[in-house]
């Protein structure tokens, strides 16, 4: 994408703590935000809570959140 957008550990933690629907991190313009419905992400989907649980389980540590955020940021570069 080459957007220069940075995903932070806080973004990952918000996603992990969201319990509404099928939450996901999405790119909205130059902003990363959590939406309650991954299906409505309109092609700007970055990462879903379902993926988070599959990879890390129900709890994510601060270190895991940092590593994941860095990895997602790198994928978007």
CB 60 within 8 A of CB 16: yes
**What confidence score (pLDDT) does residue 40 get?**
81
The tokens describing 71, both together, are: 């990895």
pLDDT tens digits, 31-74: 899 999 988 877 689 999 999 999 999 899 999 999 999 999 99
Q: For residues 11 and 25, is the Cβ–Cβ distance under 8 A?
A: yes
Max CA pair span of the chain: 31
Burial class (CB in 10 A: 0-12, 13-18, 19+), 4: exposed
Q: What is the Cα–Cα distance from 16 to 18, expressed in whole angstroms?
A: 6
């Amino acid at each position: 994408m080459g957007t220069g957008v940075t995903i932070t550990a806080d973004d990952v933690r918000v996603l992990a703590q969201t319990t509404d629907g099928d939450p996901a991190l999405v790119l909205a313009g130059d902003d990363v935000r959590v939406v309650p419905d991954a299906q409505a992400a309109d092609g700007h989907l970055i990462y879903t809570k379902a993926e988070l649980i599959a990879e890390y389980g129900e709890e994510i540590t601060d270190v895991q959140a940092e590593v994941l955020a860095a990895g997602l940021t790198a994928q978007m570069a």
